[in-house]
Structure 1
Amino acid sequence: MSTENDTPAGRPRGSARPGYSFDVKLWKISKTGRKSRPWRLRWVVAGEVQGDTFTTYALAESRRNELWHAMNRRGEAFEIESGLPESEVRAAAEAAEAADAEPPVRWFEFCRKYVAGRWRTGAGKTREGMADGLAAVTLAMVKRGDGVPDDEALRLAFRWGVVPANAGEEPPAEFKAAYDWVTTADRPLVDLAAPEVFEDVLYRISYKLDGTPAAGDTYKRRRRALNTALEHAVVVGELPGNPLQRARRKHVGSTDVVDRRVLVNAVQARQLLTAVSYVGSWDRCRGRRLVAFYAVLYYAGLRPAEAVGLRLSDCHLPEKGWGTLTLRETRPVSGKQWTDSGERHDRRGLKAREATSDRPVPIPPVLVAILRAHLKEFGTAKEGRVFGNERGGLVGSSTYWRVWEEAREYALPPERIDSPLAGRPYDLRHVCITRWLNAGVPIAEVARRVGNSPEVIHRRYHGCIDGHEEAANAKIAKALEEEGDTA
């Protein structure tokens, strides 16, 4: 078998320190006769034969080039026992020393610190979405074994554990066992690089606990939460790279487009608003307090969270003519554990706008009259809010959802109750936007009034605009007539 001399041209032979030698012979690549690793590279250090096998010839040749450069370009001595160049032995020792000095960061501890770092600047909904996405990943980042709690308990325990206010506290008794498992049987963060682990991670963000595919928006939110966390891990040096960047993105059908089946006509809308007033006993006014609430969604296109935060000082309600609602804040429901105030409703600026900006929305006389009648009967709630519950507090999402569900049963025929028609209070906003577009209001003006971009309005509502096909046909027919091509 052929050999190559270890002495590079122009380099004098020197004496190596104990355990190392410059007496190195590098052999050519040969075949092993095995299918799994068919290529072998061997070399000799001070008479000791060393070797390694490779799956491809290219890998073997790359390793041979590394050893050749260590011999002839850098003039390194090789360790006799391992057969490795001195620089590789030193690097391995440093890595082992670092590993001994500091154990690898584990998944739960990384998530706890990461969430705490983003807590101050995050809205309640952002915090909850971040915790929910990482909780789904946690189901892949805990080791399985005898006595492992069910996935729902693990998910709830993680969500509780990453809230900064709960650090050092004893978990609730109902998921203490799950919390102990999450914090002691979690994997090191670096295990995300293992193909079998990361495959399970991708499954967990794509599917619900019952094994059915997650909604497109849920998948996108979870993937976004994971990606942001992994990018942070790369920045702080806990991961060499973001494995999610190498994973093919799952194709998710768009759920942004509004379903025409949810849109009610004018008669159905009036019937629904009337039915709301019949929900609950007359003296407690549970439904009557919310008639105007749903009306601002239907006539002004407000989001429910914007209506919850509406104050009397934001309303211009003249006796005659059009009025104006000047929106300044939203009160989205996040849950007490996710807000700084400890209330279920967060206090935020308008969606997709600077915190101090506002949005004036002209409102038609019919809505002005409804709001004036509402304020005359019920007055204002705490903090001067237009809408409140029976105690003057914030209108909860569970309240306006339950009232709406009962009103649908009063207003709709039995065969339509299980249909998508006005299935959510938010669908009243869709009806309002669609009505404005069909009335010919420019998309840019509609977008300004409802607090969206023109691109979003066009994408979400393009299938709900009536009459465009007929108008386009008329324009084409006119052009053909002018060209003299009509029959």
Structure 2
Amino acid sequence: MDPNEYHGAAPEPEQPANRYPAQPHGDGRTDGGGSAVAGLAGEFGAELVRAIRVGLAEGSRAGHGARGPSQLSWYAFAAEYARAHWPGRAAKTRDEVSDALTTVTVAMLWDLPGRPNDKLLRRALRQWAFVVPGPGQGEMPTEDRLVLQWVAKASRLLVDLHDPVLAREVLESLRRKLDGGEAAVETMRRKRKVLVHALHYGVERGELGSHPLARIRWRVPKPAVAVDPRVVANPHQARSLLDAVSYVGGYRRARGRRLVGFFAGTYYAGLRPEEAVAVALPDCRLPTTGWGRLVLHRARPQAGKRWTDTGQFHDERGLKNRPPGETRVVPLPPHLVALWREHVTTFGTADDGRLFFTEQGRIISYTTYHRVWHEGRHLALPPALTETPLAKRPYDLRHSALSTWLCAGADPAEVAEPAGNRVGVLLSRYARCLYDRQSINNQRIEGLLSAYEQPPESDEPGMDEAVSSGSSR
């Protein structure tokens, strides 16, 4: 392929028939790259679907003839799946799909000569193979184009996944990180979900007669549902952390001062970080005294230019787990109202009314606020606590907020609504004790026990006299 002819899309994977040498078994048999196993595992149904499609399609090519098992490679199929499921998806979802397809594709490659190193291989797959080019995306580098040409030749057939040994190897690859360590449970679950959905798509398309993983007994460990109570800060610690953030960076650039209100929103209003960066002044009611109100209707999660339709780093989405266009009313405590009023007076708003923005007026990035939080945390906490998980991430402020509301005795239904959670999720995840809350409970228990250290006086009439007369005898 001439590099000058490329305009951003990944090259079409090659599809030569029977291009793989037969793979020998220990007893001398060969299986032609797994097609014999696939032929015994439900491909008759797939052939029937394809035959019907060919018969009904207008202008189908003459001389198609009877087809054996599908010769579609996994790489070609995965690229088609990514393109088909790109429109309308959230940018983070597109990124996660590309990540999962990359992991499976690497596990589905023959070890042919000329294999690129893992870094180049994954870069080409992640950035080009499973991406629909958007605005401002440049041309694919020649090095990455050559890598994808090698992948197209080295990719195993899609139907080879009917081999249970290969299917299990692919599933096991979902457990491993790049450094060989164990991947997080949530990462394994997400990648497996993409693989399962992609193979269902293959069944729909008639390339697979049945789902290859249906007979594989492979399970992902259950993730932890409840929030780790060690990350939850009490109100005193939260205030100390917010105060410390204001001292991060020089006063002139105000790296930390610009973000005090941002972090305060995640704590006092329980906002998710992607919701806090999208808060705009027209959506707020900030009275001079008393409680305020925020009508939340959008979030700006950071995904990267490659995954958004606009070519910007941040996607613009509706509220999490809510239908498009739905809003959420969030009460704002008086202390947060005062902080936000002061913030607007000091820094103004961005061109679109956003409260929190960089010196250049851009949306605050994940890296920016995490760096500021990390520095402020070391200023606020004593050394004994900086090494613990306490408020280690900005998101932990939301955990602390919801735990505080529940510990205050608020109705779970009233807490769940402004938090954007279902009551069941709220109670299972956030009903955790505040840091050092147990010491308060211990004091109450100790006080109650101390009150009963002396034996109680008898309240039966005449008992003292009876005891006294009995003693005199």
What does the per-residue CA deviation read over 1:276-317, in whole Å, with 9 as the maximum and x for residues that have no partner?
111111111111100000000010000000001111111000
Partner secondary structure for residue 98 of structure 1: coil
Cα distance in 2 for partners of 1:283, 1:116 equals 47
Q: CA deviation at 1:469?
A: 9.7
Aligned partner (choices 106, 109, 120) of residue 153 of structure 1: 120
Which residue of structure 2 lines up, in the alignment, with residue 320 of structure 1? Answer: 289
Does 1:112 find its partner at 2:79?
A: yes
Cα distance in 2 for partners of 1:146, 1:417 equals 50
Which residue of structure 2 lines up, in the alignment, with residue 70 of structure 1? Answer: none
Q: CA deviation at 1:215?
A: 0.6
Does 1:383 find its partner at 2:372?
A: no
Answer whether contact 2:232 2:396 (CA < 8 A) is retained.
yes
What does the per-residue CA deviation read over 1:192-219, in whole Å, with 9 as the maximum and x for residues that have no partner?
1122321211111122122222111001
Which residue of structure 2 lines up, in the alignment, with residue 413 of structure 1? Answer: 382
Which residue of structure 2 lines up, in the alignment, with residue 49 of structure 1? Answer: none
Aligned partner (choices 222, 232, 235) of residue 204 of structure 2: 235
Larger mean Cα displacement after TM superposition, 221-230 or 413-422: 413-422
Answer whether contact 1:151 1:209 (CA < 8 A) is retained.
no
Does 1:163 find its partner at 2:131?
A: yes
Kindly provide the amino acid, as one letter, of the partner of residue 382 in structure 1: D
Answer whether contact 1:217 1:255 (CA < 8 A) is retained.
no
Q: CA deviation at 1:106?
A: 1.3
Cα distance in 1 for partners of 2:368, 2:255 equals 9
What does the per-residue CA deviation read over 1:85-139, in whole Å, with 9 as the maximum and x for residues that have no partner?
xxxxxxxxxx994338x96111122112211111112110111111111111111
Cα distance in 1 for partners of 2:122, 2:101 equals 9
Q: Which has the higher strand share?
A: 1
Cα distance in 1 for partners of 2:384, 2:141 equals 45
Aligned partner (choices 218, 223, 238) of residue 254 of structure 1: 223
Kindly provide the amino acid, as one letter, of the partner of residue 335 in structure 2: V
Which residue of structure 2 lines up, in the alignment, with residue 346 of structure 1? Answer: 315
What does the per-residue CA deviation read over 1:360-379, in whole Å, with 9 as the maximum and x for residues that have no partner?
01111000000000000001
Answer whether contact 2:264 2:336 (CA < 8 A) is retained.
yes
Which residue of structure 2 lines up, in the alignment, with residue 184 of structure 1? Answer: 153
Answer whether contact 2:234 2:404 (CA < 8 A) is retained.
no
What does the per-residue CA deviation read over 1:408-465, in whole Å, with 9 as the maximum and x for residues that have no partner?
1111112322211110000000000000011111222211111011111121124437
What does the per-residue CA deviation read over 1:321-353, in whole Å, with 9 as the maximum and x for residues that have no partner?
100011010000111110000001000000011
Answer whether contact 2:357 2:363 (CA < 8 A) is retained.
yes
Answer whether contact 1:294 1:425 (CA < 8 A) is retained.
yes
1:284-303 matched pairs, under 5 angstroms: 284-303=253-272
Cα distance in 1 for partners of 2:255, 2:240 equals 18
Answer whether contact 1:124 1:346 (CA < 8 A) is retained.
yes
Please list every run of 5 or more consecutive structure 2 residues that lacks an aligned counterpart in the other structure.
Answer: 1-26, 28-62, 446-473
Q: CA deviation at 1:244?
A: 2.0
What do you get for the CA RMSD once the two structures are aligned?
2.5
Kindly provide the amino acid, as one letter, of the partner of residue 335 in structure 1: G
Cα distance in 2 for partners of 1:136, 1:439 equals 45
Answer whether contact 2:300 2:316 (CA < 8 A) is retained.
yes
Does 1:212 find its partner at 2:208?
A: no
Does 1:126 find its partner at 2:98?
A: no
Aligned partner (choices 102, 105, 110) of residue 135 of structure 1: 102
Structure 2 CA distance for partners of 1:123 and 1:254, relative to 1, 3 Å: same
Q: CA deviation at 1:265?
A: 1.7
Partner secondary structure for residue 384 of structure 1: coil
Partner secondary structure for residue 326 of structure 1: strand
Tell me the TM-score normalized by structure 2.
0.75
Structure 2 CA distance for partners of 1:271 and 1:462, relative to 1, 3 Å: closer
Answer whether contact 2:97 2:194 (CA < 8 A) is retained.
yes
Answer whether contact 1:171 1:179 (CA < 8 A) is retained.
no
Answer whether contact 2:403 2:431 (CA < 8 A) is retained.
no
Does 1:335 find its partner at 2:304?
A: yes
Aligned length: 377
Task: Select the structure with the greater relative contact order (CA < 8 A; seq sep ≥ 6).
Answer: 2
Answer whether contact 2:70 2:159 (CA < 8 A) is retained.
no
Which residue of structure 1 lines up, in the alignment, with residue 470 of structure 2? Answer: none
Structure 2 CA distance for partners of 1:190 and 1:103, relative to 1, 3 Å: closer
Aligned partner (choices 417, 421, 443) of residue 452 of structure 1: 421
Partner secondary structure for residue 330 of structure 1: coil
Which residue of structure 1 lines up, in the alignment, with residue 238 of structure 2? Answer: 269
